[in-house]
Amino acid sequence: MITGAIAILLGALTLAVVEGMGKFYPAKRTWLRIRSRHGRRAARAMRERIEATAQRRTPRSLIIVLAVLVVAWIATAPLLAKRWWEVVLDVSPYVFVGIAFLRIPQVLRKVADRMRVYERDAGEDPDQDLDDSDEGPGAAEIAL
C-alpha cells in the first residue's frame, strides 16, 4: 500500500513538472542567459526544436500504449489474486502520467510562444532567417 501511495505521488509530481514547465519555463532571465552564453542562433534553434517536438504524435502514441496496458492489467485482475478495485488503485498513477502525456504538446507550444515573445522583445523577428548576419557559424551549425 505504501508503494502505491508513493507511485501516486510520483505520478502527480510528473504532472506538476509538466504544468510548471508550461507556466514558467523559460523565464526571461534564463532565456537571456542561454542567448548570451550560446548565441542567438542556438536560442533560435532551441525554440525551433521545441516547436518541432510539439508537432510530433509520440505523446498520443504513448497514451494509447499506456491505456492498452492499463486495460490489460485490470482485465487480468483475477489472475493476479486481486480484486478489480485493487488493480484500479494500482494503476491510478498512470492516470496522472497519461494526463501529463496529453499536456506535453500544449505545454511545448506555450514554451515556444514565450520564446518568440522574448525574441520580439530583443528586437528580432522570430520568423526571419538568421543567415544574413555577420555573426558567423553559431553553435547550432557547429553541432550539426
State pLDDT tens for residues 101-144: 999 999 999 999 999 999 999 888 887 777 655 555 655 556 55
d(CA 43, CA 36): 9
Q: State the pLDDT at residue 51.
A: 93
Q: Is the four-CA dihedral 104, 100, 102, 74 of positive or negative sign?
A: positive
Main-chain dihedrals φ then ψ at residue 26, nearest 5 degrees:
-85, 145
Q: Which of 102, 74, 90 is nearest to 15 (CA)?
A: 102
pLDDT digits 0-9 by tens, 86-98: 777 888 898 899 9
pLDDT digits 0-9 by tens, 31-83: 999 999 998 888 899 999 999 999 998 888 989 999 998 888 888 878 878 77
Q: State the pLDDT at residue 102.
A: 92
The answer, yes or no, to whether residue 85 has pLDDT greater than 90, is no
Q: State the pLDDT at residue 17.
A: 94
Q: State the pLDDT at residue 140.
A: 56
More confident residue, 14 or 124: 14
Q: How confident is the model at residue 20 (pLDDT cuts 50, 70, 90)?
A: very high
CA distances from 85 to 2, 8, 51, 118, 135 (A): 16, 15, 40, 49, 62
